[in-house]
Structure 1
Amino acid sequence: MLFSGRAYPELAEEIAELTGVELTPTRAITYANSEIYVRFEESVRGSDAFVIQSHCAPVNEWMMEQLIMVDALKRASAKRITVVAPFYPYGRQDKKHLGREPISARLMADLFRAAGADRIMSVDLHAAQIQGFFNGPVDHLWALPALADYVVEKYGEDEITVVSPDAGRVRLADMWTDKLDCPLAIVHKRRDPDKANTVAVREVVGEVEGHTCLLVDDMIDTAGTICQAAEALLERGAKRVIAAATHPVLSGPAAQRLNESVFEEVIVTNTLPVTADIPKLTVISIAPLIAKAIHEVFEDGSVTSLFDGKG
């Protein structure tokens, strides 16, 4: 049985259509004081339940709704409950950088478990160790094959260089180079000693001149880092710059920055809803990947090929 939260029902409907299973009718209410009420309008006893929720803003509200849905299923005797969170909430808070900080990504896993979830399914976790935060199976899916197929189809004739926008995304960029069989470059940020603490100089490590540069990341939030990296690549003689990222968070000034950027195209998936008007944005559906994973989990099949990014 499939269940959808209210954050992004369009994605859940697409997944339901691909799996051939209708979404279970659900009554969901937000009361005047912001408390959430959920009731499923069909029996769920003995079911293999998949609860789909996209954690866009307001993240806390949609997280709470999903927890309440899981609790309702547990109390109604669902046999197995899988949380489907295409964009894992609080995924960037995966470790302590300073004293007295939380590890919020671990807290989310604990909350899912406490509510009654048996399994978590997510796409492109910000950090691989999040899989170990949940005391149960975690299906870590990869959007890279779908994104890479689009890039090859449209830009396959070009001389492509995959570029990491900062040091933290080098591992992801390396996976892209394996997929596309092309060279890797890195945009490195350092402080200009002549302009104390005000201007960051971006150095490009790798050959980009005359190449189509593909900046890759797991998400685009405010788009500041990736837009600055694109400018640095053009300054170093790149033929053109495109970007690929799984999660279009697109907070605050992101839409304006992307519209004013030097990017020729920005390719994302629909793990999160895109409401802003960004002509340069191309959205690839993640629904077929999630639908396939749900089918494999339900049939007790193998989802290994969906974990490794190779497709």
Structure 2
Amino acid sequence: MDTTDFSFHTSPIMLLSGSANPALAQGIADVLGERLCDVTIKRFADGEIFVRIDENVRGRDVFLIQPTNPPAENVLELLILLDAAKRASAARVTAVVPYYGYGRSDRKDQPRVSIAAKLLANLMTAAGADRVLSIDFHQHQIQGFFDIPVDHLYAAPVFRRYYEMKKLDNLVVVATDVSAAKMARGYARRLGGDLAIIDKRRPAPNEAEVSNIVGEVEGKHCIVPDDMIDTAGTMVSAIEVLKERGALDIFVLATHPLFSGPALERLASADVKEITVTDTVPLAPGVQEALPNLTVLSVASLLAQAIESTHANTSVSKLFK
């Protein structure tokens, strides 16, 4: 006899938020016309995290919103919240992770290193996640690290609508390296621009050396997309070589604005017309002031639509268009 519990199909949505990005969680709730469930999150004197869900979640279809951007406590908080919801008898728990951290540790490319992206997937599943909803994994194969359903969304529709309004002519979309060519080709097709690829050689982690450009950029407006900006070394190197090759205005876009280490200083001094990011992770204080050419687009509506489709058990493929 099949004893699978399908009660979440008809149970009300319940939205939970961790402390990593409460503004985005509230934005999602506003789009859905729902409210965020009351949750108590605090630290003990020794730094341990205490979590208590302050409302009844029994039989509810729970969506837990928590990116795993630094600090690492955000990951632990996500796991503890998942455990709390599962132990409180939620019918289904979906981990809504707008930014999936540790995505760069996706393979064993040198001796004695961890595949942390797989480890995180295992931890989330063990903690009680029934599904995962995320945006722009660093590598697409991360979807295969999970043994539970994963809905992998793209921020491209959000960026596309924004740049379509600019009506840029004589446009070329530039991939920062060969691995980013597929993303750049997608933007070029949708925005009606040409494609160029930067031949980049990386001598060490977080260091980038640009050596050549495949494609024509002289006298053209350039859009340079990436899934994240961390220390901005790759992006700034790309901007410099594009300017050397005669590019006109350069527009940079990235889904996840991590802005670590020297990123702000590098970007502030770079010859870039506009930097466009999303709110998958919150900006640190002072970032907007340091980068007056920074525009933040919200993915709240995108995630809200995905949550609504997941709850109604309908397809989310329409969000890829």
When the two structures are superposed, what TM-score results if normalisation uses the length of structure 2? 0.91
Equivalence for 1:10: 23
Deviation of the 1:170 alpha carbon: 1.2
> Retained in 2: the 8 A contact 1:258–1:280?
no
**Secondary structure of the structure 2 residue equivalent to 1:246:** strand
- Match of 1:14, SS? helix
Question: How much does 1:168 deviate?
Answer: 2.0
Matched AA of 1:173: A
CA 1:233 to 1:80, structure 2 compared with 1: closer, same or farther past 3 Å? same
Q: Secondary structure at the match of 1:172?
A: helix
**Residue of structure 1 aligned with 2:267, choices 258, 275, 300:** 258
Tell me the equivalent position of 2:314: 301
Aligned identity (percent) is: 47
Q: Which amino acid aligns with 1:114?
A: A
The match for 1:101 is 113
Counterpart in the other structure of 1:141: 153
1:147-186 equivalences under 5 Å are 147-154=159-166, 156-186=167-197
Distance in 2 (CA, whole Å) between partners of 1:31 and 1:257 is 38
Aligned pairs (5 A) from 1:74-223: 74-154=86-166, 156-190=167-201, 200-223=209-232
In the alignment, is the contact (CA less than 8 A) between 1:86 and 1:123 conserved in 2?
yes
Contact 2:279-2:298 within 8 A present in 1 as well:
yes
CA drift at 1:99: 2.0
Alpha-carbon distance in 1 for matches of 2:267, 2:208 = 21
User: Hey, what's the Cα distance between the residues in 2 that align with 1:130 and 1:87?
Assistant: 13
Question: What's the CA shift string for 1:112-147, capped at 9, x where partnerless?
Answer: 110011000000111111111111110101100110
Does the CA contact (< 8 Å) of 1:216 and 1:243 recur in 2? Answer: yes
1:229 is aligned to 238
| Residues in 2 aligned to 1:199 and 1:109: alpha-carbon distance in whole angstroms | 29
Secondary structure in 1 matching 2:73: helix
Out of 170-179 and 42-51, give the one that drifted further: 170-179
Amino acid corresponding to residue 125 of structure 2 in structure 1 = R
1:189-231: CA deviation from partner (whole Å, max 9, x where unpaired): 3599xxxxx9945211101111001111110101111011111
In structure 2, C-alpha distance between the alignment counterparts of 1:50 and 1:127, rounded to whole Å: 24
What corresponds to 1:242 in structure 2? 251
Who is 1:272 aligned against? 281
The answer for unaligned runs of 5 or more in structure 2 is: 1-13
1:263 partner SS: coil
Cα 1:29–1:190 shift into 2, 3 Å: closer
What are structure 1's unaligned runs of at least 5 residues? 193-197
Q: Which amino acid aligns with 2:274?
A: E
Deviation at 1:56, TM superposition (A): 2.3
Deviations 1:69-109 (A, max 9, x none): 01011111000000000000211111111122111111111
In structure 1, the partner of 2:67 is 54
DSSP-derived class of the 1:89 partner: coil
Alpha-carbon separation, structure 2, partners of 1:148 and 1:265:
15
RMSD (CA atoms):
1.6
Q: Counterpart amino acid of 1:242?
A: F
Q: Which amino acid aligns with 1:5?
A: G
Separation in 2, partners of 1:199, 1:227: 9
Secondary structure, in 3 states, of the residue corresponding to 1:158?
Answer: coil
Distance in 1 of aligned mates of 2:202 and 2:270: 23
Matched pairs, number: 301
Asked whether the equivalents of residues 210 and 241 of structure 2 are also in contact (C-alpha less than 8 Å), the reply is no
Change (3 A) 1:201 1:77: closer
AA aligned opposite 2:215: G
Aligned residue in 2 for 1:73: 85
Distance 1:102 1:191 in 2: 21
1:289 to 302, 305, 316: 302
Contact 1:7 1:54 in 2 (8 A): yes
| Amino acid of the structure 2 residue aligned with 1:135 | D
Separation in structure 1 between the aligned mates of residue 26 and residue 279 of structure 2, nearest angstrom: 13
- Normalised by the length of structure 1, the TM-score is 0.93
Give the AA of the match of 1:263.
V
Question: How far apart are 1:54 and its partner, in Å?
Answer: 2.1
Could you tell me how far apart the structure 1 residues matched to 2:210 and 2:50 are? 51
Amino acid at match of 2:70: A
Q: Is the 8 A contact 1:54 1:85 kept in 2?
A: yes
CA contact (8 A) 2:198 2:210 kept: no
